Structure 1
Amino acid sequence: MAIEVRPASEFSDVRTMVGPKRPDANVCWCLSYRIPSKLNRSLVGPERGEYVRELCAHEPAPGVLAYDGDEVVGWAAVAPRSETTFAKARKIPIVDDQPAWSVWCVRVRPGHRKKGISHHLVSGAVEFARAHDAPVIEAYPVDNKDEKVDLTMAYVGTRGLFEKAGFREVSPTDSVLAGFPRVLMRLDLS
């Protein structure tokens, strides 16, 4: 298996990874942390997908996609923190004034899990941020102490996943997900 990670500019592949089975469904589309909550609540049904279609048409792309050959198998959301809700999050601190980038959602398609694809996605997100001159990249994973994380809440990643990519914890947070505390982890890209 040769996994390739590319910018998420192909809307149909992004839709495969984060879109709903029914176009009128109000699923996340990985917008919850990307846009202000008022706008997030106002976008319903197909409007959510159209918003993401617009994101895919602009530079930088809204994240990265992992491919096994021609098949899309994974997604990671990555963007400047200043363009996300993490810029004003009350429960996740801002530790300095560097223009950090954030990676906050790592998803692998069913049937492709437990093959290391999430590691490729994190590496791809790091390279994507580096290619856009980010001095540092952050993640806000759960510190699950090797306990199993419910798949519906595993999208934020685990501390171990990011440690293996070279990230280090720089701050605890007041955020808890699926009963696990989240930590702020960083990787210096300079």
Structure 2
Amino acid sequence: MATITTEVATTARWDDVQHALTGGGDGASCQCIWPMLSNKEWNETTTPQRTEMLREEIQEGPPPGLIAYIDGEAAGWIRVGPRTTQRRVPRTRMIAAASTEPFEDDSVWAVTCFVVRREHRGSGITLELLRAAVDVARRSGARLIEGYPVDARGEKKRTNDLFHGTLTTFLAAGFEERAEMKPGRILVALELST
């Protein structure tokens, strides 16, 4: 059985971040910058620019995500951090309408992206990444963490449609359903200040 470990994304782990993001799907072109930009800004950037944005974000800190390793090989990624730093979250109408938390509150964090390399899908990485992200948020003083997963309802979905994570993964990590944002997309939350 493979051993899954997680580490925060740091400059020293830059090559691992890139390995995790480039194993199939949109991670290579997105560079997990989508949550950080408006639609206009996104459309005006190139993949090399997004790569440099992520590199700068990691250099400046705090780490914007975690890397999952399977037997020492970078295999997956999760973005987690205060909602206030993820500019797209409050600009997404369905999230803004569903969340009851003030968007200026730094103690509310969000999980906005998962990437798993093709050869490691189905190995339980997303749940391990999510649990590690919750631990990082808790240690960093977050009061609550939100997610915006896909409720696949047992249907097969394209991998690129699952970058928000799946509802079953969030529920397995202890999150509670708060609101249906639209059919197949649920706002979930986990209270950390207990």
Q: Specify the TM-score bucket, using the shorter chain as the normaliser.
A: 0.7 to 0.9
- SS of alignment partner, residue 61 of structure 1: coil
Cα distance between partner residues in 1 of 2:77 and 2:55: 15
Q: Given the alignment of the two structures, is residue 143 of structure 1 paired with residue 151 of structure 2, yes or no?
A: yes
Q: Does 1:132 align with 2:140?
A: yes
User: Following TM superposition, by how much is the alpha carbon of 1:18 offset from its aligned partner in structure 2, in angstroms?
Assistant: 2.4
Per the alignment, residue 42 of structure 1 pairs with 44
* Matches of 2:171 and 2:127, distance apart in 1: 10
Does the 8 Å CA contact 1:139/1:185 hold for their aligned counterparts? yes
Q: Does 1:27 align with 2:29?
A: yes
Find 1:110's aligned residue among 111, 115, 118. 118
Q: Which runs of 5 or more structure 2 residues have no equivalent in the other structure?
A: none
In the other structure, the counterpart of 2:90 is 87
Structure 2 CA distance for aligned equivalents of residues 167 and 122 of structure 1? 10
- Matched residue type, 2:31: W
Give the corresponding residue for 1:163.
Answer: 171
Q: Give 2:131's aligned residue.
A: 123
Aligned partners of 1:143 and 1:114: how far apart in 2?
A: 17
> Aligned AA for 2:91?
K
> Secondary structure of the equivalent of 1:77?
strand
CA contact (8 A) 2:4 2:71 kept: yes
1:102 is paired with a residue whose SS is: strand
Shift of 1:43: 2.2
Does the Cα contact within 8 Å between 2:145 and 2:190 map onto a contact in 1?
Answer: yes
Taking every aligned residue pair, what percent have the same amino acid on both sides?
A: 33
Partner amino acid, structure 1, of 2:100: V
* Larger fraction in helix: 2
TM-score by length of 1: 0.87
TM-score, with normalisation over the residues of structure 2?
Answer: 0.85
Number of matched pairs: 181
Runs of 4+ in 1 over 6 A off after TM superposition: none
